[in-house]
C-alpha cells in the first residue's frame, strides 16, 4: 500500500495580523453598508495571523494581471526548492527516485507547468511524469494525495512528489467589495507545501482507499471570474452550509472500507473556515479536539487553499502520538462543490526507523524564510 510521508511546509516572511486586517477593512471600506457584518465575519474566522509573499503595502496595490503572474512565477521558483528538499529528506528518497510530480495551485497560471521547471532545475529524471492540477482550488490538496496514491497503486515501485503552491494574496482585488470577497480578504493566506507518497517503504500514513464526490448544482458556489485584472474570487453565502451535503460522502467512503466515519482515530480536514469544522464535528458526532490540527492551521496561517491538508498533516506527524494501525481520514473540499477524501492507517516505522528519526530529517517544516533559490534537490 502507498505510504504518505511527513509533509514539509514553508510560509513567507511577511505577515498580517487579525488586528491589521480589521483596521484595513474599516479604513478601505468605511462607507460599506454591511461593514459591521464583514468585521464580525472576519473576527469569527479565528485567524490570528496570515503570511504573504509580498509586503502588505505591495499586496494592496494591483499592478495588473501580467505583473502579478510574473510575481507568482518568481516566488514559486524562489520558495519551492526548499520545501521539496525537506519533503524528500523526510521520505528518505532522492530526486532521482521520484517517478511523478503532482503540482497543485489555483493562484497563478504557467504553461508549461512548474513541474517542467522543477525537472529542469531540481535534479529530477527527464522521464518524470508531470501531473499539474490547476482548477480544483482548495480540494486539490486532497486530490493530489489521491492521484499520487492511485499512481503508486498502478506502479507499486514508484514514488510520487506532491507540491502545493498557493499565493492567495496575489488574487487580492481592491475593487471587489461584496461581502464574500471582503471576508476572503481576511481569510486566505500564502504557503508552499510538499510531501512524498512512496509505493513501498516509508513511514507515515498508509493510504488504503479514496473517493471523489461532487455536490450537484453547486458549481457556481465557489468560482473565479477571470477578468482583465486577473482572478476574482466568488463565494456564495451558502458555502458554509455544505458539510450537510458532503458528510454523507465521508460516511460512504468509511463504510465501504468497513470503518465508521464517526469513530476514527484522526481527522485531517480542509479548514476552509470555522463553520466548516464546527458543522462537521456536529454531523459526524466527534469531539472538537479531533479537528485540532485543522483548527491550528486556520488560526496560524488562515485558509492556505490546497496546502491546508498538508500543513494539518505536518502537525499530526509532529504530535506523533498515534499507535500503529490508528485509523483516519483526510478530506479536502473546494469548487464544484467537490470533496476529495481518503482513509488510511498510521504506519510509523520504516526499516527500523521511527517517525522521530523522520522528523529530524524534515527540518524545514514551518520555516518562514526561504534559504535557497535552486540547484539539485538531492
Residue of 5, 138, 152, 168 with catalytic role: 138
Q: Please, are residues 51 and 189 in contact by the beta-carbon 8 Å criterion?
A: yes
Q: Please, are residues 108 and 73 in contact by the beta-carbon 8 Å criterion?
A: yes
Residue 109 sits at the vertex; the CA angle it makes with 369 and 105, to the nearest 5 degrees, is 55
Which of 112, 201, 193, 216 has the alpha carbon at shortest distance from 145? 193
Please say if 138 is a catalytic residue.
yes
Beta bridge partners of 333: 339
User: Cell numbers 481527522 label which residue?
Assistant: 267
Pairing mode of beta strands 100-104, 129-133: parallel
3-state secondary structure of 206: strand
Which of 233, 254, 244 has the alpha carbon at shortest distance from 275? 244
Instruction: Give the catalytic positions in this structure.
Output: 138
Amino acid at each position: 500500500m502507498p505510504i504518505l510521508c511527513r509533509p514539509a511546509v514553508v510560509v513567507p516572511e511577511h505577515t498580517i495580523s487579525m488586528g491589521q486586517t480589521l483596521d484595513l477593512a474599516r479604513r478601505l471600506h468605511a462607507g460599506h453598508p454591511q461593514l459591521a457584518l464583514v468585521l464580525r465575519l472576519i473576527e469569527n474566522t479565528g485567524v490570528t495571523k496570515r503570511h504573504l509573499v509580498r509586503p502588505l503595502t505591495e499586496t494592496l496595490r494591483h499592478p495588473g494581471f501580467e505583473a502579478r503572474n510574473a510575481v507568482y512565477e518568481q516566488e514559486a521558483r524562489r520558495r519551492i526548492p526548499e520545501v521539496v528538499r525537506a519533503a524528500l529528506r523526510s521520505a528518505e528518497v532522492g530526486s532521482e527516485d521520484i517517478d511523478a510530480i503532482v503540482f497543485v495551485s489555483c493562484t497563478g497560471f504557467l504553461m508549461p507547468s512548474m513541474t517542467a521547471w522543477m525537472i529542469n532545475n531540481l535534479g529530477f529524471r527527464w522521464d518524470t511524469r508531470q501531473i499539474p492540477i490547476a482548477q480544483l482550488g482548495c480540494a486539490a490538496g486532497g486530490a493530489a494525495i489521491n492521484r499520487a496514491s492511485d499512481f503508486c497503486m498502478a506502479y507499486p515501485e514508484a514514488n510520487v512528489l506532491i507540491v502545493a503552491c498557493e499565493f492567495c494574496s496575489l488574487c487580492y482585488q481592491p475593487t471587489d467589495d461584496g461581502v464574500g470577497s471582503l471576508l476572503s480578504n481576511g481569510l486566505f493566506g500564502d504557503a508552499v507545501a510538499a510531501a512524498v507518497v512512496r509505493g513501498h517503504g516509508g513511514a507515515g500514513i498508509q493510504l488504503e482507499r479514496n473517493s471523489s464526490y461532487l455536490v450537484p448544482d453547486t458549481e457556481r458556489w465557489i468560482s473565479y471570474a477571470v477578468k482583465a485584472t486577473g482572478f476574482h474570487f466568488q463565494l456564495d453565502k451558502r458555502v458554509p452550509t455544505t458539510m450537510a451535503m458532503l458528510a454523507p460522502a465521508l460516511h460512504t467512503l468509511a463504510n465501504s472500507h468497513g470503518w465508521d466515519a464517526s469513530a476514527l482515530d484522526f481527522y485531517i480536514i480542509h479548514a476552509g473556515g470555522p463553520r466548516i469544522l464546527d458543522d462537521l464535528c456536529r454531523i459526524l458526532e466527534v469531539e472538537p479536539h479531533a479537528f485540532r490540527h485543522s483548527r491550528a492551521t486556520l488560526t496560524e496561517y488562515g485558509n492556505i487553499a490546497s496546502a491546508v491538508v498538508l500543513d494539518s498533516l505536518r502537525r499530526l506527524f509532529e504530535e506523533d502520538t498515534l499507535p500503529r494501525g490508528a485509523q483516519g481520514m483526510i478530506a479536502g473540499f473546494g469548487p464544484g462543490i467537490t470533496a476529495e477524501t481518503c482513509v488510511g492507517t498510521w504506519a510509523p516505522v520504516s526499516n527500523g526507523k521511527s517517525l522521530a528519526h523522520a522528523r529530524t530529517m524534515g527540518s524545514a517544516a514551518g520555516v518562514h524564510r526561504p534559504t535557497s533559490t535552486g540547484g539539485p534537490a538531492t
